[in-house]
Every structure is written in structure tokens, then in C-alpha cells.
């Protein structure tokens, strides 16, 4: 709605403006400081300019009132306009606030955890944020593809095979084994070992020539766990790209870099000149033993991405990858692509509490907090929502016990309760939406009109959240809208009063915004609490 109002004002004024929402709605639904930007151009006082501009809007039905206040132009929407927007929203139902098709394709890569064990709670934050960004973007009309980069090459695969071998020999074969300093641990390895015995027999764990086969089997089984755990959280990917499969393209990729003069040999290693593009040191891409480094894999992968010709690329990485951004963007530049089309969003770790105390790690899980354990404990909806209540690049701490509470301390309950309350009012009044949809909201009080206006802002909130890559804007909006609904419910009688249908219509608009807003975040609104 805000975009529509902004375009309408710009057409009248024949210039671009900034349209804001005043903190005090009594000043108006929207305001613009355009008179201040025109003051220098016209060499006039901005207050006089604002007064002159206000007169231009006297004949239009969109606004009930346009006033000049201290140089600002304030707009109060008409009841007729709000009525039209509400009726249109009801007609659209679950397509309310949906955007039109955008001429922009985006590849978004997230999670991409090593396939060496189940996802832990830190992985969940990037997974939920990436999925929400994807959902909001697609809802707004962008063409977005999701991708998981499977790091199935390198030393971690050998370490996975060793860890599986040791777990099998101790817990399946009953042998006494000595563990090295570095190894993966957890019951998932015992489960995989038992499957391995069923397929290959016990001898595979004593056959040195089978270690590569063992690593591949373990990787595939871990990926099944990861995919299943993500699905339980409502997350599925369009593409999975194997790092190992990309190395066959290294020679082609290396030639492009060599032709651009971005590689050199030193100490029998191959280096990329990443300092030329802002990195603190040049980086090795091929070791002295001839094996490409992890960075080489990322370079191949990003060439592969750019070869697929998306308009924009988004990577969601853990905060520990901050120093990695410059070297990857350097490689993209050396490959002849525009590094500015790659956006890297960092996701901070999560601190979990239980009854105010640090959450105990699970020895069963290998001394980490498993994402699946928390999903099972509090539910996918609660986990998704709480992870979106803070920007992804800020610290997040929450108590899992609070998300079990049936009160305002639990934001998911609080929002669902607002939605359920509205449904209960309709049941109490023995009415449905079809009974109230033709009512005129002009007869309701100002609190109800303010609630209707707030409920109509969802499209603006979604666009701002996507543009700023900040899903917290959506959760804050839903929480604020729910607070208005609870306040209105507590302060005003609705069922059985004059004009109850008009009031129910306004509340139905609030319920629709909650329902759609949660759905776009991958959460289902509850009708009954």
C-alpha cells in the first residue's frame, strides 16, 4: 500500500519523494519531507512550499486530509481508500501483499555445512534465515533458486572415514580402539556403521583399500540426515552441488586465471594475487603436492555459479568466514565477472539457555547441540520464528523453556493467540467473513481504523525486509500488529454491539495479515489456542 500511495503522490508532484510513516499516527498515515529538498531549488521557506503543495491534493479521494506541518507534508488516508484496500485484500486472500514478477534472477546459497555430521544449532540460524529470505523474495516476485554446496572433498572426508571406522570397531564389532586427537563423534556414526555392515559386511572396516568407499558411504548417509533434519524445519533446496564433482573443472578455471595474469608460482605452490584487490595476503590455490586448496574449490564453484548467468548471487556464511569474503570476490573479478553482484551475509552463532542456564550439550550428539533436538523440543514454528527476531549478523540468545510458555513471553504464542482470538470472536458472533465483507469501516472508531491501516502495511514490510535482508522487520511487524489486536480486544466490546460486523471486518483484516505474514516465513497460523 505504501508503494502505491508513494507513486500516487509522485505523479501529482511530478518528482520523486521519500515517504515515511510518522511515529504518531495522529499526524497522519504518511509524511514526506520533500519541501525541504525543494527549498534550495525554489529559494523559498520549506513551510511555505509545503503549504502550496498541500493544495494540490484537495480533489483526490485517496486522502481525507493533506496538511503542512513544520515543512512536512502529512497525509491522512480516506476511509474510502482504506475500504478499497481491505476489500482487495480479502479478494486476494493468501495472495494478499504478494508482489508482481520482477525481472531479476537470484541464486542464494546457504547452510553448506560439511557433510560430516548432523546440523547443530548454529547451522540452523543460517538455514532459517536463508529459507525465510528465499520465501519472502519469491513471494515478492523475484526468481530465486536455493542451493546447498556439499563440501565432500578434502581432509574432512578422510577424517569422516576414520571416525566411522573407529566407531564401528568399538560399538559394532566390540574391539578396543585408540582414538586420535581429531575425530568426529556421536551416535549417528554408530547408526551409519550398522547400515554399512548390512550392505558391505564387517570386513570393510579392516580393509585399507576401502577407506574411500567408506568415506563416500558415510557422506551420503550424513547428507540423508541433514536433508531430513532440514525438511523437519520446513527447509528444502532446489540444488545440491558437490565440491568433489567440480574439481574436474579446475584446469579450465585455472587457465582463465592464468590468462588474466592473476596466478604466480612461489615455493612450488600456486598463488592467487588477491592482495591486488584488497586482501591482506595472497592466497595459495594449489599446494606444493599439486593438490588444489579449499579456496580453489570455492573459485571453481563461483565460476560455476556465474556461468549459470544469474543477475545476483547471495551467500549466507557463518561469521567465521568474514575474512574469506575479499579473497572470493578477488577470484570472481579475476575470472572476468562482476564481484559486486555477489552479496555475502554473515550469520552469527546462537547461545541457548534452558531455565536461565546454559543449555547442556549432548554427548549422544558428539558434544554439540543438535538442530533436530531443539526442533523436536519446541517445534519448527517456534524455532523458525525466534531465529528471525534478530538480524542474522547480531548475537542471538534465547531460552528454550520460554518458547513453551502460553503467554506473551513466547512471541509465537502471542501472535497465534491474536489470530485465534479473532477466529473465536467470529464463532461467538456466529458469523463468517462473507457476513461482514460488505460492511463500511467508516462507522468504526479511530482505534479500529488505525488497526486496519497497520494490517494493510504487510506488503511494505515484506519489501523493506527483503531489500535490507532483515527478516526481523517481519517478526517485529507481526508482534506489533498482534499487540494492537490484543489491546483492542481488551479495551473494546465487539460481539453484540452496534456495527459489530464492521468491527469484525477490521479484525478479519488483522487476522489475514498475521496469517499471510507467518506463512511467508514458513509458519502456519493457528486458529485455536
Burial class (CB in 10 A: 0-12, 13-18, 19+), 170: middle
What strands, in cross-sheet order, belong to the sheet with 342-347?
239-242, 143-150, 105-109, 312-318, 342-347
Beta 143-150 vs 105-109: how paired, if at all? parallel
Q: What is the DSSP string of 474-522?
A: HHHHHHHHHHHHHHHHHH---TTSTTHHHHHHHHHHHHHHHHHHHHHTT
364: pLDDT strictly greater than 80: no
Per-residue 3-state assignment (H helix, E strand, C coil) for 411-478 = HHHHHHHHHHHHHHHHHHCCCCHHHHCCCCHHHCCHHHHHHHHHHCCHHHHHHHHHHCCCCHHHHHHH
Give percent of the chain with pLDDT exceeding 90: 82
DSSP for 35-51 reads: HHHHHHHHTS-HHHHHH
**Contact yes or no for 316/348 (Cβ under 8 A):** no
Residue 106 phi/psi, 5-degree rounding, is -135, 135
Separation CA 402–CA 411 (nearest Å): 9
Give residue 220's Cα distance to chain centre. Answer: 27
**Integer angstrom CA distances of residue 186 from 190, 357, 366:** 8, 24, 4
Assign 34 a pLDDT band (cuts: 50, 70, 90).
very high
Q: Residues of CATH 1.10.730.10 domain(s) within the chain?
A: 407-520
Helix, strand, or coil (residue 196): helix
35-39, 460-464, 479-483: which range is least confident on average?
35-39
407-520: which CATH architecture?
Orthogonal Bundle (1.10)
In tens, the pLDDT along 278-305 reads: 888 999 999 999 889 989 999 999 999 9
Q: Is the pLDDT of residue 363 over 70?
A: no
pLDDT averaged over every residue in the chain = 93
Stretch (H or E) spanning 397: strand 396-399
What are the pLDDT digits (tens) for 474-495?
999 999 999 999 999 999 999 9
With cut-offs at 50, 70 and 90, classify the pLDDT of residue 409: confident
CATH number of 2-77: 3.30.1360.70
* CATH 3.30.1360.70 domain position(s) in the chain: 2-77
What is the average per-residue pLDDT within 190-198?
A: 95
User: Measured at the alpha carbon of residue 268, what is the angle toward residues 263 and 269, in degrees to the nearest 5?
Assistant: 45
Amino acid at each position: 500500500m505504501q508503494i502505491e500511495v508513494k507513486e500516487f503522490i509522485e505523479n501529482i508532484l511530478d518528482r520523486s519523494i521519500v515517504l515515511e510513516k510518522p511515529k504518531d499516527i495522529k499526524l497522519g498515515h504518511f509524511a514526506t519531507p520533500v519541501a525541504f529538498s525543494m527549498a534550495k531549488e525554489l529559494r523559498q521557506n520549506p513551510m511555505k512550499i509545503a503549504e502550496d503543495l498541500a493544495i494540490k491534493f484537495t480533489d483526490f479521494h485517496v486522502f481525507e486530509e493533506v496538511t503542512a506541518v513544520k515543512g512536512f507534508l502529512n497525509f491522512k488516508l480516506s476511509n474510502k481508500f482504506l475500504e478499497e484496500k481491505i476489500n482487495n485484500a480479502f479478494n486476494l486472500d493468501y495472495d494478499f501483499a504478494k508482489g508482481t514478477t520482477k525481472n531479476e534472477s537470484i541464486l542464494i546459497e546457504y547452510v553448506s555445512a560439511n557433510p560430516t555430521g548432523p546440523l547443530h544449532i548454529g547451522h540452523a540460524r543460517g538455514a532459517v534465515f536463508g529459507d525465510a529470505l528465499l520465501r519472502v523474495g519469491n513471494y515478492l516476485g523475484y526468481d530465486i533458486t536455493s542451493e546447498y554446496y556439499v563440501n565432500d572433498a578434502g581432509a574432512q572426508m578422510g577424517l569422516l572415514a576414520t571416525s566411522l571406522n573407529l566407531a564401528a570397531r568399538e560399538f559394532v564389532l566390540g574391539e578396543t580402539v585408540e582414538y586420535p586427537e581429531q575425530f568426529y563423534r556421536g551416535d549417528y556414526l554408530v547408526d551409519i556403521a550398522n547400515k554399512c555392515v548390512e550392505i558391505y559386511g564387517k570386513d570393510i572396516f579392516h580393509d585399507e583399500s576401502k577407506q574411500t568407499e567408506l568415506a563416500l558411504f558415510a557422506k551420503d548417509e550424513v547428507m540423508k540426515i541433514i536433508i531430513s533434519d532440514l525438511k523437519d524445519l520446513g527447509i528444502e533446496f532446489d540444488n545440491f552441488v558437490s565440491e568433489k564433482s567440480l574439481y574436474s573443472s579446475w584446469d579450465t578455471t585455472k587457465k582463465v586465471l592464468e590468462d588474466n595474469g592473476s596466478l604466480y608460482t612461489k615455493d612450488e605452490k600456486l598463488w592467487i594475487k588477491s592482495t591486488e584487490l584488497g586482501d591482506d595476503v595472497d592466497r595459495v590455490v594449489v599446494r606444493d603436492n599439486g593438490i588444489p586448496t579449499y579456496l580453489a574449490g570455492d573459485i571453481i564453484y563461483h565460476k560455476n555459479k556465474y556461468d549459470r548467468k544469474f543477475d545476483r548471487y547471495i551467500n549466507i556464511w557463518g561469521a567465521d568466514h568474514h575474512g574469506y569474503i575479499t579473497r572470493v570476490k578477488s577470484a570472481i573479478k579475476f575470472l572476468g565477472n562482476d564481484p559486486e553482484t555477489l552479496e555475502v551475509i554473515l550469520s552469527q552463532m546462537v547461545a541457548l539457555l534452558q531455565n536461565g542456564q546454559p543449555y547442556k550439550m549432548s554427548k549422544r550428539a558428539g558434544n554439540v547441540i543438535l538442530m533436530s533436538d531443539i526442533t523436536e523440543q519446541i517445534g519448527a514454528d517456534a524455532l523458525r520464528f525466534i531465529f528471525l527476531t534478530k538480524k542474522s549478523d547480531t548475537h542471538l540468545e534465547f531460552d528454550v523453556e520460554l518458547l513453551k510458555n502460553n503467554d506473551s513471553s513466547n512471541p509465537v504464542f502471542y501472535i497465534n493467540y491474536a489470530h485465534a482470538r479473532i477466529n473465536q470472536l467470529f464463532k461467538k458472533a456466529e458469523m463468517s467473513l462473507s457476513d461482514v465483507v460488505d460492511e463500511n469501516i467508516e462507522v468504526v472508531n479511530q482505534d479500529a481504523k488505525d488497526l486496519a491501516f497497520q494490517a494493510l502495511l504487510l506488503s511494505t514490510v515484506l519489501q523493506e525486509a527483503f531489500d535490507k535482508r532483515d527478516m526481523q522487520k517481519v517478526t517485529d511487524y507481526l508482534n506489533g500488529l498482534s499487540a494492537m489486536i490484543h489491546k483492542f480486544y481488551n479495551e473494546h466490546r465487539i460481539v453484540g454491539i452496534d456495527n459489530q460486523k464492521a468491527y469484525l471486518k477490521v479484525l478479519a483484516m488483522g487476522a489475514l495479515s498475521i496469517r499471510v505474514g507467518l506463512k511467508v516465513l514458513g509458519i502456519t497460523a493457528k486458529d485455536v489456542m
